[in-house]
Every structure is written in structure tokens, then in C-alpha cells.
Structure 1
Amino acid sequence: MADRPRFFDDLAGLAGNAFSAVTGAREELHAIVRTRVDEILNSLDLVRRDEFDAVQEMATRARMAQDATEQRLAEIESRLSAVEELATEEKGGPQG
């Protein structure tokens, strides 16, 4: 039986090394692109999603508190009007 010629072993080794080099280059390129994209996004002063969600939640709560306060104020104004009407009736009540 004849052994494989050394040429095919060398060729297989070369192909393996080339594949490793391409994989390494791809990972390095990916890291460089990610870094550049992060730099660009930071220079644009964009808001991250988690920060946006937090502010949106705060705004929702503030709106709910404002609605509750407006409703409470309307009730207080209604009660004040009723008290003022009573006071007016007592002052201008039956006079003889």
C-alpha cells in the first residue's frame, strides 16, 4: 500500500491554516466594525432603549398623577362652590 503523497498533506495543512486566518480576520473585522458603530452612535448622542423605557414609565406615572390631581381639584372646587352658596344664602337669607 502506498502512503499518501506528502503534497496532499501539505495542501491540507495549508487549507487549514488559510481557514484559521480567514476566521481570525473575520472576527477582527467584526470587532472593528462594532467599535466604529459604537463610536458613531455615541457621537450622535442617541438614547439607549432602557433609558427611553425608564423615562417613558416616569412620564406615564406623572400623567396619571396629573389626572388624579385634576380630578381632585375639580371635586374641591365643586365643594367650595357649594360652601360659598351656603354662605351666600345665610347672609342673604330672610330679612325682616
Structure 2
Amino acid sequence: MQSKNPVISDFVKLANSAAGTFAGMARETQDAARERIKEAMGGMDFVSREEFDAVKDMAAKAREEAEALKERVAALEAKHAGDSGKP
């Protein structure tokens, strides 16, 4: 059932407009806050997730290579120790 009262109709239109305005203000406030945070953090030396992951992968590979080299050196030292006992 619709009301034919123009006062109520005008009030509903006003309430809808106010709700839209408040929603827009909330979005603008959120966007402005996000921009301020970006500006504040812009001077700091943060790295992106991609850069972090790339360096993390490089470090893991370097650790693996270091372990392999450590095993190789141990094997060569053991071989050298066995060879030095021969006449």
C-alpha cells in the first residue's frame, strides 16, 4: 500500500538522499585516510611482497648450496686424510 501523502513522500526522498550522501562521505573519508597512510609510509623503506619472496627464495637456495658445499668439503677432507697416510 503506497501513501499518497506528499509530506511522507518528500520525507522518504530526503532520507534516501541523506543516506546516499553519508555513504559517499564515508567512502571519501576512507579514501582520504588511505592516501594519508600511503604518504606517511612512502618515505619508509618497505619492500613489496614480491621483492620479499624473491629474496627469501634466494636465501633458501644459498642455504642449500652452502650445505652441498659443506658436504663436498667434508668428503674431500676425508679423502685427503686417507691419502696422506699412503707412502
- Please indicate the TM-score interval, normalised by the length of the shorter structure: 0.7 to 0.9
Indicate the structure (1 or 2) with the bigger Cα radius of gyration.
Answer: 1
Higher relative contact order (CA 8 A, sep 6+): 2
TM-score by length of 1: 0.76
Letter in 2 for 1:39: E
Residue 31 (structure 2) aligns with: 31
Identity %: 29
Residue 20 (structure 1) aligns with: 20
Q: How many residues align?
A: 85
Structure 1 residue ranges without an equivalent (≥5): 90-96
For residues 80 and 28 of structure 1, the distance between their equivalents in structure 2, rounded to whole angstroms, comes to: 73
RMSD, matched Cα: 1.6
SS in 2 for 1:46: coil
Q: What are the equivalent positions in structure 2 for 1:8-87 lying under 5 Å apart?
A: 8-86=8-86
TM-score by length of 2: 0.82
For residues 64 and 15 of structure 2, the distance between their equivalents in structure 1, rounded to whole angstroms, comes to: 66
